[in-house]
Amino acid sequence: MVPTPPDGRAGIDAALVKCLVAAQFPQWSDLPVRPVEVDGWDNRTYRIGDTLTARLPTAAGYVPAVAKENEWLPRLAPSLPYAVPPILGEGVPGEGYPHPWSVRGWLDGETAAPERIGDMAQFADSVAGFILALQRCDTTGGPLAGEHSWYRGASPAYYDEETRRCLAALDGRVDTDRAAVVWDAALAAEWRGTPVWFHGDIAPGNLLVDDGKLTAVIDFGTSGVGDPACDLVAAWGMFSGESREVFRRAVGQDEGTWARARGWLLWKCLLTLSGYIDTDPERAAVDRRLIAEVLADHDLFS
């Protein structure tokens, strides 16, 4: 993980953003600046007036995403069925802030919390449609999976040592024997397909809805070109029952890809669970449930 400064915001606040905008984009200097209601970890986002946002990475490890998104979001947007952030300005370090940043157009909508979605099965079909449309985008010159994508789109084997440490730490507290079988199956299902575009973090906070329906997809910081298995994690992280079945059927993919997807979810849940199993019972319960579901999924489809 990239270390974040102790204040958790890398010294970023509305006053800094106001100074950066005034110095680099004087045409917007009179607009008010305020934080968004729901913010992320990798970047901080501020509203500039009613139609713009500033997006600033919180640490050096997140900086490669800035140039990547600036270059590729405008290229991908015409081929996608839902809106993605429009890039309106490319900021540079200044005013004591050390990283490049960007100005984007504001996208209306709310994050995809379950209570905001009218028909979860229909929503699952929409998310699958976005993933497939992204996979059809031209990959020529696209950024191959690697450090910039936190190795999403590469083999989950990159996190093998970390996963096995977590399995050892959680032995006796979750079904680590079955979990190890699922992890081994993910590593054995080596990907040999043609590289495609992937988002890398299909999650409720990166999907916007309006009137219960998907309208936009944001935060392409972990996107790239490679194995699409990481985008299938939404099957368990967002869906269940009928909506999971709809998503699985609509998005397709072969069994090897689903095996690697189970590995991606298992790695993340084991990692986070080992961090707060004794300190945050509510979050631990979510991870335990997801681990149990992915183990059951392996038993059902393998």
Correct CATH for 111-301 of 3.50.50.60, 3.40.190.10, 2.40.50.100, 3.90.1200.10? 3.90.1200.10
Residue boundaries of the structural domains of the chain: 14-106, 111-301
Residues 6+ apart with CB under 8 A from 275: none
pLDDT of residue 6: 32
Question: Please, which contacts does 269-277 make with residues 24 or more away whose CB atoms are closer than 8 Å?
Answer: 269/294, 270/163, 270/166, 270/167, 270/170, 270/174, 270/179, 271/162, 271/163, 271/166, 273/166, 273/170, 273/174, 274/166, 274/169, 274/170, 277/170, 277/173
pLDDT of residue 190: 94
Between CA 189 and CA 62 the distance in angstroms is: 29
Local confidence band at 10 (pLDDT 50, 70, 90 cut-offs): low
Q: In the chain, pLDDT over 70 holds for what percent of residues?
A: 97
Specify the CATH class of 14-106 in words: alpha beta
Q: In the chain, pLDDT over 90 holds for what percent of residues?
A: 93
User: Strand, coil or helix: what is 225?
Assistant: strand
Between CA 262 and CA 233 the distance in angstroms is: 7
CA–centroid distance for 15 within its chain: 28
pLDDT of residue 11: 82
Instruction: Please state the pTM of the whole predicted model.
Output: 0.93
Q: pLDDT digits over 251-263, tens only?
A: 999 999 999 999 9
Local confidence band at 70 (pLDDT 50, 70, 90 cut-offs): very high
Segment 117-142 shows an average pLDDT of: 97
pLDDT at 40 over 90: no
Between CA 178 and CA 8 the distance in angstroms is: 36
